Structure 1
Amino acid sequence: MKITPKELAGYFDHTQLKAYAVRADFEKLCRESREYAFRMVAINPAPVALCRELLSGSNVHVGAAIGFPLGQTTINDKTNETKEAIRNGADEIDYVVNLTELKEKNYGYVEREMASIVEVCRKAGVISKVIFENCYLTDQEKEALCRIALEVRPDFIKTSTGFGSGGATAADIMLMKRMVGDAVKIKAAGGIRTLDTALEMIGMGVSRIGSTASVSIVEELKARQRGS
């Protein structure tokens, strides 16, 4: 795949979601994101205002993870968390689906949850992403989520939180792409730590990549191109 380091960087949501992250970690995250022109910083809701300030004047978005990482809060909780994150400066929202309701085949609940969060984002002009956490799902459950997403139309569906028992896989990307086509974009996240893995995902049609290894992946491309 022919891609420049700048183009590659534009795929990345540079991630810092550790529970014990301190201000210096967020300063580093935002500094790297400015330097490399990553698309977004992916953070928990509490440091949204801080990162918005640190990224002032840049084109880097601030993304808040909602209901993270388990998704086991109510629709009202997730909706209110979304609203507060947007008030604090979030440009993008990545929320975790309630997998208990999905596994109980309570698809109406899952759709109401998705619609509630997507509506808040849409009204605010904010990008919405739905985290499936595919490592815990059957193919039938993944397909059910894709069908709901085709009805609700979030901006993205996303493979994983990065905190589950597994991350993005080629098989899951193929399934999600087969189900939604170009109607909903796909974000791959979880375990993407090498250039070859990132390029494979991009080649399969993902529009975003969530990773803590964004810097090393872009630097790997630069080194490879220097040596060619």
Structure 2
Amino acid sequence: MPAISERDLAATIDHAILKPEMTRPQVDAELDIAAQWGVFSVCVRPSDIAHAVRRLEGTGVAVGTVIGFPHGTTSTVAKVAEVTQALADGASEVDMVVNIGFLRSGFDDAVVDDIRAVVDAAHGRIAKVILETSYLDDEQIARGSRLTEAGGAAFVKTSTGFGGGGATVEHVRLMRANVGPRVQVKASGGVRGLETALAMLDAGATRLGTSASATILGELRAIGGGAGPTGARDDSSY
């Protein structure tokens, strides 16, 4: 049996509710799954923040959102405006997409300035930086991780889940090796089962972005002889 409790594993999960086509009833079903399994947080579309905060009130599940999602190419001014609105709507964490083209171009100062502006706008709330590793080589991932730390973010994160590739153990290890102990690593994209989740944590991730929370935690509970909550399901592919 894995040497982690269901509660501790749930505490690493940001339950992703980000597909653009999702209807309000579908969003609500996912919010309920997050509450049933007691995950750390949900990561919702910006337009769903206020609703998610109301629906999850009293559950202990935090509400986060995405900034400059999924391409990262919006201006810094626009990203800051998104953060400001997200906080006003009740978000407690923000996951911003790095300007991928700037990172690939070697515009390091511009990348740091973009990150720092979002971190400053978050006013002490946790800010994570998504590198979208499927578009990057190892040098760019390592450098992007260091630039994330230079910009003051709390986490460097692998992927949006919409870029044609997701987290890998090798990339998580590379990111972990290129930031200091103050910066944490979030593995996101393609984390859909218990074995993968545990491998990401073993590689150095401390947070998991996934829409497969019920599957992952249900697999762990099954090993312990239990069963998942009635009606719990996960049919998305993030």
**TM-score where L is the length of structure 2:** 0.91
What is the match of residue 144 of structure 2?
A: 145
Q: Which amino acid aligns with 1:65?
A: V
* Corresponding residue number in structure 1 for 2:66: 65
> Greater CA deviation, 164-173 or 147-156?
147-156
CA distance in 1, matches of 2:104, 2:194: 34
- Residue 197 of structure 2 aligns to which amino acid in structure 1? A
For residues 148 and 21 of structure 2, the distance between their equivalents in structure 1, rounded to whole angstroms, comes to 33
SS at match of 1:13: strand
What is aligned with 2:189?
190
Contact 2:34 2:213 in 1 (8 A): no
Confirm whether residue 106 of structure 1 aligns to residue 107 of structure 2. Answer: yes
* 1:84-141 superposed Cα distances (whole Å, 9 cap, x missing partner): 01101101100101111111111111011000001111x2x31110000000001111
1:41·1:61 contact (CA, 8 Å) conserved in 2?
Answer: yes
Q: Distance in 1 between matches of 2:40 and 2:25?
A: 20
User: Which ranges of 4 or more aligned residues in structure 1 deviate by more than 2 Å?
Assistant: none
Range with bigger deviation, 16-25 or 185-194: 16-25
Q: What is the SS of the residue equivalent to 1:154?
A: coil
Length, aligned pairs only: 225
Partner SS for 2:225:
helix
Cα pair 1:71 1:96 within 8 Å, conserved: yes
Q: Which amino acid aligns with 1:188?
A: A
State the TM-score, normalizing by the size of structure 1.
0.95
In structure 2, C-alpha distance between the alignment counterparts of 1:11 and 1:226, rounded to whole Å: 22
Paired residue secondary structure (1:183)? coil
Instruction: Using the aligned pairs only, state the percent identity.
Output: 36
Unmatched 5+ stretches in structure 1: none
User: Are the aligned partners of 2:70 and 2:97 in contact in 1 as well (CA < 8 Å)?
Assistant: yes
Q: What secondary structure is seen at the aligned counterpart in 2 of 1:130?
A: strand
Give, in angstroms, the shift of residue 181 of structure 1: 3.9
Contact 2:70 2:162 in 1 (8 A): yes
Give the gaps of 5 or more residues in structure 2: 227-238
Q: Distance in 2 between matches of 1:149 and 1:82?
A: 17
Instruction: Name 1:56's counterpart in structure 2.
Output: 57
TM-superposed deviation, 1:212: 0.9
